[in-house]
Amino acid sequence: MVAEAANVSRAAVSRAFNPNASLKPEKRQRILKIAQELNYTPDMAARALVTRRSHLVGVIVPAVCSPWESQEIDALTTALQDKGFATLLFKTRADRAMDTRLLTYMKGFNLDSIVAFAENVRPDTLARYLDRAVPIYLSYPREDGELPPPFRESKAHFDRVEVLQRDGIEKAVALVQGYGGKRFAYLAGDTNTLANAERSQTFVEILQSRGLCEPVIIPGDFTYETAFAATIDLFRYGSDVDAIFAANDVSAFGAIDALRHELGLRVPEDVKVVGFDDIDQSAWRSYNLTTVKVDLSERVATIIRLILRRLDDPAAPAMSETIRTRLVVRGTVG
C-alpha cells in the first residue's frame, strides 16, 4: 500500500522505518509522510521473525528515582531511541537480585541486548533466561585489569564497560591535601555493591601512597538521609576529620547539610567535602560540589557502541571498553 503510493519497493519502505538503514533523506521523508497519511505502521513482530531482531533493549536497574539512575536511564533511553531501539525497564528487588518469574517474563521479549546496572543479577543467571542477547555490565576493575569476583568467576558470555576510578580519586585526594586536609573520612555507599567496594579500596590505597593514615569509615548506603544522620553521629561524639570523601554526590549533599545546618561547621573552611558522579545537582549553587566525574554522555555512548558491535558480530569474543574518571573542581574543598 505505502510502496505503491510512494512508487518505491517494499524494501525501501522497510528501510525508511529503520533509522540505521541506508536511504536518501528526502526519500525517507516522503515514504514516512505517505505512511502517516495512510495510517500505516510496520508490524514489528513480523519484522522480528524475518530479521531476528526485536529492536528491544532491556535495562536492569536497582532504582529509578535516585538522581544518578534517573539521569542515566533518561540519557540511555534517548540514545537508544535515536538508534531505533525501544527500551524495556526491569527493576531489581531491594537486595538487587531479580525474581525468576520476572526473568522468565524477560525472555519472552526476545531482546536484542540487555544492560545490567545491577551486578547481583549475575551473567550466569541471565544466560539461563536469555536467548541470543549478550548482556552488558558496568564493571569497576582494579588498575591491574583484574575483574571483580562476580565477573572473574563467570562462565557465561557477557560484554562490559570498565570504569577506572583511580584517576579522579587520586586528583581529589591531592587537591584536598594541597588545601591542608590531613584526616579523611570515607562516607560509604551500599556495601553490597561492587562500585562502593572498589571505590573504597582505591581510596584507601591512594591515602596510603600519599603517606596519609587510613580513613574513618562513615556508614552509608548512597542515600541523603543516611549520610546526613551518620555525619552528625561522627562529629557530635568528637572527631578530628577535616575532609570527607563521599561514595556518591547525594551522600555528599547529606554530609554538607549536616555539617552546615546541624553541626555549625563550615564547608570548606572546617571540613572539606568531595563527592562522586557529578550529577546535575552537584553544580547547584547551594552545594557547588567538588566531585569525581563519571562522564554520563561518554558512558552511554560506550554502551551504545557495544550494543551495535555485538549485533553486528553475535559470535565475537567478549567485548569491553574503558572509560576513566576525572575531577571537577568547585567550591567544597578550597
pLDDT of residue 49: 42
* Mean pLDDT value across the chain: 89
Q: Look at 107 and 321; give whichever has higher pLDDT.
A: 321
How many CA within 13 A on the CB side of residue 153?
A: 6
- Which of 134, 56, 58, 63 is closest to 89 using CA atoms? 58
Q: Spell out the domains of the chain, with CATH numbers in brackets.
A: 2-42 (1.10.260.40), 51-163+296-323 (3.40.50.2300), 166-294 (3.40.50.2300)
Residue 262 DSSP label: I
> Does residue 66 have a pLDDT over 80?
yes
pLDDT of residue 210: 95
* Residue 57 grid coordinates: 533493549
State whether residue 309 is helix, strand or coil. Answer: helix
Handedness of CA 278, 279, 283, 286 (dihedral sign): negative
Cα first-last separation, the chain: 68
The 216-218 sheet, strands edge to edge? 216-218, 184-187, 243-246, 272-277, 290-293, 326-328
Q: Are 58 and 88 in contact (CB under 8 A)?
A: yes
Q: Cα 253–258–263 angle (5° rounding)?
A: 150
- Please give the single-letter amino acid code of residue 108: G
Confidence band, pLDDT 50/70/90 cuts, at residue 6: confident
Helix (H) or strand (E) holding 284: none
> Does residue 180 have a pLDDT over 80?
yes
Angstrom CA distances, 209 to 122, 212, 214, 323, stand at 34, 8, 11, 23
* Nearest-angstrom CA–CA distance, 186 and 196: 11
The predicted model gives 249-262 an average pLDDT of 98
> Does residue 75 have a pLDDT over 80?
yes
pLDDT of residue 48: 47
Handedness of CA 68, 74, 79, 81 (dihedral sign): positive
Q: Are 92 and 61 in contact (CB under 8 A)?
A: yes
Helix (H) or strand (E) holding 144: none
Q: Look at 271 and 1; give whichever has higher pLDDT.
A: 271
> Does residue 198 have a pLDDT over 50?
yes
> Does residue 23 have a pLDDT over 80?
no
Residue 96 DSSP label: S
Q: What is the pLDDT of residues 280-312, one digit of tens each?
A: 999 999 999 999 999 999 999 999 999 999 999
> What percent of the chain has a predicted confidence (pLDDT) above 70?
92
* Nearest-angstrom CA–CA distance, 294 and 230: 25
Count of residues making up the chain: 334
Quote helix, strand, coil % in the chain, to nearest 5: 45, 15, 40
Q: Are 206 and 166 in contact (CB under 8 A)?
A: yes
Residue 97 DSSP label: -
- Which of 156, 116, 110, 113 is closest to 131 using CA atoms? 110
> Does residue 82 have a pLDDT over 80?
yes
The predicted model gives 264-288 an average pLDDT of 97
If one counts every other C-beta atom within 10 angstroms of the C-beta of residue 21, the result is: 13
> Of the spans 2-6, 105-109, 330-334, which averages the highest pLDDT?
330-334
* Nearest-angstrom CA–CA distance, 117 and 120: 9
* Residue 59 grid coordinates: 535495562
Q: Are 119 and 193 in contact (CB under 8 A)?
A: yes
